Homo-oligomer: A and B are copies of this chain.
Amino acid sequence: MYSNLQMPKGFKCAGIAAGIKSGGVKDMALIISDVPAASPAVFTQNQVCAAPVKVCREHLAHGVAHAIVMNSGIANACTGSEGIVAARAMAAEAAAIIGCEPQEVFICSTGRIGPQLPLDKIVPGIGTLVAAAQGGNVKETAEAMMTTDTRPKVSVAEITVDGKAVRIVGFAKGAGMIEPNMATMLSFIATDAAVEQHAFQSALKKAVDASFNRISVDGDQSTNDTVLALANGAAGNLPLGESSKDWKPFSMALEKVCFELAMMIVHDGEGADKFVTVNVAGARSDDEANLAARSVANSMLNKTAWAGTYPNWGRIMDAIGYSKAKVLEEQVSIHYDDRQVVANGMRTDIPQEDLIKVVSQTDFAINIDLHLGEGTATVYTCNCTEEYVRINVT
């Protein structure tokens, strides 16, 4: 899959093995626009953040971008001033070959925290990437982004804007909010729509809040999380802004692409084989609903219970109780899918086998109502198996 997928008009891409990883595994990717593109971005909130994140934050101020260059295998995090120099060198090398300003190149890294980037491999790799991008391949690009991912992650949307066909192609990598030695989630989104930078930044932020910011594999937030988008206008539409007639379909398509990619990350969660949607309603606010949902989604006791096909609702009550959301025990109701296990804070008389049937599925929902207000939130997560521990002990 993805092999014959077309990039949006005016974009090329490539994925190659530059020798950062051993064994000829692909480890560098490029997405390049023929012309300067509007280029919003969203970054990790971690106070310890990678050199490429720091450099991308500077480049974001430039307003337009031509290309994204990334490597997997080494995160270029906790690498001090040498790491910053390497990140800038990556951008400068790409800019020189492409013929643009270094600030018009976004750079990303993902992989082990600590080591310095091997510029002797990365610099020639950039040349190889630009050459390969002439006959670029979406699948190889997505593969080059992978670390502990078991499969490449791509999502596409097609809409019509001003009567012009517009295409959005999104890439992502990630198998945990943080991975083994790695760090972590990256997503790149390319569209041939013409979009005003400011409106695009706010649409991207909104899409990320509704997608990548709603997932959790292990509750650890990485040093490298980055979502970058490029809109080059090759579709020929009038630039989209928030007052455009087609703004809503465009922003919904952007959100759909982000959401699909985010769900792919949870489905590929390290060691996980169950996808769990935690819905909280009836909180005093959406923020409190989010706190309660995250507390359930990140609780090791809930994640291991799901791994055991074990409908342990007491662990759900416990986790909402110690969350920072206001909870009145005697008001709480809980359903596994549509099967009610808790009413007024106590167990209903539903047969245990009905609940086991729900948690036996590879995809089910925990629906919690706090009955205290109108706040709602959803968090998408996965179970925690012995395999998660096995993956992460090295």
A388 to chain B, nearest CB (A): 7
Say whether chain A's binding surface is mostly helix, strand, loop, or mixed: loop
Known: A114-B313, A178-B318, A220-B299. 13 other contacts (CB 8 A): A47-B328, A78-B347, A79-B346, A80-B344, A112-B314, A114-B347, A178-B315, A183-B314, A218-B300, A220-B318, A223-B318, A300-B300, A307-B393
Q: Does A160 contact B (CB under 8 A)?
A: no
For chain A, residues 108 to 150, give those with C-beta under 8 angstroms from any C-beta of chain B.
112-114
State which of B46, B221, B307, B332 has its C-beta within 8 Å of the C-beta of A389: B307
Which chain B positions have C-beta within 8 A of A317?
48, 77-78, 113, 223
A217 to chain B, nearest CB (A): 9
Which chain B positions have C-beta within 8 A of A388?
300, 304, 389
State which of B78, B221, B321, B330 has its C-beta within 8 Å of the C-beta of A223: B321
Q: Does A36 contact B (CB under 8 A)?
A: no
Which chain B positions have C-beta within 8 A of A385?
389
Q: Which residue of B lies closest to A306 (CB)?
A: B393
State how many residues of chain A have any CB contact under 8 Å with chain B. 61
For chain A, residues 170 to 197, give those with C-beta under 8 angstroms from any C-beta of chain B.
178, 180-181, 183
Q: Which residue of B lies closest to A326 (CB)?
A: B47
Q: Does A329 contact B (CB under 8 A)?
A: yes
